[in-house]
Amino acid sequence: MSMKYPKLFAPGRIGSLTLPNRVVKAPTSTAMSNMDGTVSDRLIRHYREVARGGTGLIIAEYAFVDNIASKSAHCQLGICSDEHIPGLALLAATIKEQGARAGIQLEHCGRQKFLGTPPIKSASAVPWLALKARSGDKAIPEVLSIEEIEQIVEAFGDSVKRAVMADFDLVEIHGAHGYLITNFLSPHTNKRTDRYGGTLENRMRLLSEIIQNARGKVGREFPLTVRLSGSDYEPDGFGVDETIEVAKMCEKLGLDAIHVSGGDHHQMIHQVSPMSIPRMHNVWAAEAVRKAVGIPVIASGSITLPEFAEAILVEGKGDFISLGRPLWADPEWTNKARDGRQEDIRPCIRCNDGCLDRTFFHFQAVGCSVNPEIGREGDLQITPALQRKKVAVVGGGPAGMEAARVATLRGHSVTLFEKRSLGGVLFEGSVADFKSDLGFYSEYLATQMKKLGVEIVSKEAKADDIKTGQFDAVVVATGGKSAMPAIPGLNGPEVLDAINIFNGQAKAGKQVVVLGGGETAVEVALYLEQAGHHVTLLHRRELMARDCTITDKISYSEMLARSAVKVVTGLQVTEVKKGRVTATDKHGKTSYFEADSVITALGYVPVKDELADQLRAKSGMMVFEIGDRVRTGKVYDAVHAAYRAACQI
């Protein structure tokens, strides 16, 4: 048991299953199965590495229960056929061989079918609006008949039986996040007038019948749990009071634990919370359910650090805690917490870039911004260099520090040049309280520099510094710079850079106009408004935050709506004069905006200097240019490029 986190590392029980600690790997889709839902070699390698991290229970990602309409996403795991069993058995065995207990989640997607292919079935013909915007009327669900509901009940029960045959230790029924069972539970999506609609007793009938069918096929002793949204956060939806009643029903019917989450895909910020949403976002609902039932409750939702997890257990808000994204950011999260090495835990920054946007909306396999190895297990890994070299890294931002970290772990001698304190753009990026997760990541990287013995030179590196240092290789990661379009007056004294607002080098006046509509523009507008400034956000396009992930778009839209920021779109700035910004619309109509300060947040462009070319002129030196210096992007792009470069040295 960990002396620092004694509750977290105390053994626990879910039904007949004993767990070595209170950490549960939440079921999170990887898109790494074969197209027919069978287990792939890639999926086995992934779960082997995650299970090695010390987590007590690994609940494998949601598996579709029939071949009719239950499959949600590309390359999703399946459990609807006996032909899935051999691969599933290997998956369960692989997890258990690493010392973890093996669970699996069963799912029917209902209206939330990322694939967008027919048939889409649900309780009622209420579409997922994001899918309807993409697929049109094809996204409107077909209403399930009574006969079809009965078939789905049997499919869930048969799938539980297959999980038992595949030697899983536990099965979780997915009754959360806007999938089929939630489509029945929530009045937002259930408009039926038969015995499956109307009253709560009717709306929870599908789940009740699934539980009874499963128990009839596998018996009472096999550990069976359910995941519920404490609330779907829909105005006309499913609140915690009804969740409590459903949890009581589940306990009465013999379920062994309630796994509490929140949200649906329309309210995705409550399901996969971005960094602008408070951490431990759905723990309040787990606490409410725990007070009402006698079976264990698993709390979940942005529990990113072990101190948060320990506090939940100590305060009685949950019996177990589940981690999804944090175990992708660092599969060794549990081992490091147990060993008292919490400073070595690579923190999830809740950017939702690799694990959500690129996976579900760009149909890739799962990735992680801060951990390039996730999804590439056995393919992309840190290996000792054949020859130890002297390496210079220029730039102490996320790309530079990641390159230095990986190169040092490979056995190279690394010197990092950074004229400021370590962190680079992460410093400015984490100043706003709704971006503070970036600060944890910056602190982690800086700690690794110190623990690995990377030499830090606090100066701007010149070509002569690198040449006289007799380095064998150099990684140039000096970042990008703010874009400055050719607009008259944009170089005036009242015009300030958003970056300098965040780092304190510039102070804005009371009346502020922010130019831009991307992520940085929205963030600096909200930051200044929270600090008491009167802010107008002026953007030439109609849509704001186009460069943001889906969850940031939702969250920032809501934050702007609650704020006093005046948002003006569809206007092109034509001139900036002292005290005034001039802009025109597409019809040539001119508008004027008074401003004490004008903040530019018009994107970033790569830095163009001669450093790399000068270093290439030195015979025999390997030169890598990475990060925003080459092409502006997100943390994901910078860190992954740095990792690859360091592995090539």
Instruction: Quickly tell me which residue has 């879910």 as its tokens.
Output: 14
Q: What is the pLDDT of residue 175?
A: 98
| Cα–Cα distances in angstroms (integers) from residue 609 to residues 458, 476, 614, 629, 631, in the given order | 20, 11, 10, 10, 14
| Average pLDDT rounded to a whole number, residues 555-561 | 95
The DSSP symbol for 629 reads G
pLDDT tens by residue, 316-357: 999 999 999 999 999 999 999 999 999 999 999 999 999 999
Q: Flag whether pLDDT at 624 surpasses 70.
A: yes
Secondary-structure percent of the chain, ordered helix, strand, coil, rounded to 5? 35, 20, 45
Instruction: Quickly tell me which residue has 């040092």 as its tokens.
Output: 408
In this structure, which amino acid lies at residue 566? K
- DSSP assignments along 218-229, one per residue: H-SSS-EEEEEE
% residues pLDDT > 70 (the chain): 99
For domain 484-602, the CATH class is alpha beta
Backbone φ and ψ of 495, nearest 5°: -95, 125
Q: What is the pLDDT of residue 629?
A: 81
CB 496 within 8 Å of CB 598: yes
Q: Which of 173, 168, 172 is nearest to 184 (CA)?
A: 173
| Cα–Cα distances in angstroms (integers) from residue 504 to residues 97, 442, 499, 525, in the given order | 52, 18, 9, 15
Q: Flag whether pLDDT at 139 surpasses 70.
A: yes
Q: For the chain, first and last CA: distance in Å?
A: 40
User: Cβ contacts of residue 39 below 8 Å, gap of 6+?
Assistant: 33, 77, 84, 87, 88, 90, 91
Token pair of 57 as six digits: 């229970």
- Cα three-residue angle 618-607-457, rounded to 5 degrees: 60
Please count the other Cβ atoms lying within 10 Å of the Cβ belonging to residue 616: 13
Token pair of 595 as six digits: 């401003």
Backbone φ and ψ of 119, nearest 5°: -85, 150
Q: What is the CATH number of domain 12-361?
A: 3.20.20.70
CA 478 to mean position of chain CA atoms: 27
Q: Flag whether pLDDT at 306 surpasses 90.
A: yes
Q: Of 5, 62, 179, 233, which one is the catalytic site residue?
A: 179
Q: What is the pLDDT of residue 616?
A: 84
In this structure, which amino acid lies at residue 339? D
Task: Classify 420 as helix, strand or coil.
Answer: coil
Distance from C-alpha of 99 to C-alpha of 428, rounded to nearest angstrom: 41
Q: What is the pLDDT of residue 638?
A: 94
- DSSP assignments along 471-483, one per residue: -SEEEE---EEE-
Which residues on neighbouring strands pair with residue 322, listed in sequence order? 24, 300
- Cα three-residue angle 400-403-404, rounded to 5 degrees: 85
Q: Flag whether pLDDT at 148 surpasses 70.
A: yes
| Cα–Cα distances in angstroms (integers) from residue 234 to residues 182, 183, 230, in the given order | 12, 12, 12
Neighbour-count burial of 27, counting CB atoms closer than 10 A to its CB (0-12 exposed, 13-18 middle, 19+ buried):
buried
Q: Flag whether pLDDT at 97 surpasses 70.
A: yes
The DSSP symbol for 38 reads P
Greater model confidence, 617 or 516: 516
Domain with CATH 3.40.50.720 in the chain: 390-481+606-648
pLDDT tens by residue, 57-92: 999 999 999 999 999 999 999 999 999 999 999 999
Work out whether the CA dihedral 149, 150, 152, 153 comes out positive or negative. Answer: positive
Q: What is the pLDDT of residue 631?
A: 79
| Average pLDDT rounded to a whole number, residues 28-43 | 97
Distance from C-alpha of 196 to C-alpha of 637, rounded to nearest angstrom: 47
Q: Flag whether pLDDT at 361 surpasses 90.
A: no
Backbone φ and ψ of 624, nearest 5°: -120, 135
Task: Classify 565 as helix, strand or coil.
Answer: coil
Q: How confident is the model at residue 619 (pLDDT cuts 50, 70, 90)?
A: low
Q: Flag whether pLDDT at 1 surpasses 60.
A: no
Q: What is the pLDDT of residue 627?
A: 84
Q: Flag whether pLDDT at 569 surpasses 70.
A: yes
Domain with CATH 3.20.20.70 in the chain: 12-361
Q: Flag whether pLDDT at 576 surpasses 60.
A: yes
Distance from C-alpha of 637 to C-alpha of 14, rounded to nearest angstrom: 40
Q: What is the pLDDT of residue 587?
A: 92
Exposure string over 491-502, b if 16+ CB within 10 A, otherwise e: eeebbbbbbbbb
pLDDT tens by residue, 397-436: 999 999 999 999 999 999 999 999 999 989 999 999 999 9
Architecture of 390-481+606-648 per CATH? 3-Layer(aba) Sandwich (3.40)
Active site residue 233: no
Summary mean pLDDT of the chain: 95
Q: What is the pLDDT of residue 30?
A: 97
Q: What is the pLDDT of residue 77?
A: 98
**Does pTM surpass 0.85?**
yes
Please count the other Cβ atoms lying within 10 Å of the Cβ belonging to residue 532: 9
| Cα–Cα distances in angstroms (integers) from residue 12 to residues 18, 26, 297, 385, 607, in the given order | 6, 17, 12, 43, 54
| Average pLDDT rounded to a whole number, residues 369-389 | 94
Work out whether the CA dihedral 455, 459, 462, 468 comes out positive or negative. Answer: negative
- DSSP assignments along 275-323, one per residue: TTSPSSTTHHHHHHHHTT-SS-EEEESS--SHHHHHHHHHTTS-SEEEE
Domain with CATH 3.50.50.60 in the chain: 484-602
% residues pLDDT > 90 (the chain): 88
Instruction: Quickly tell me which residue has 């409410």 as its tokens.
Output: 288
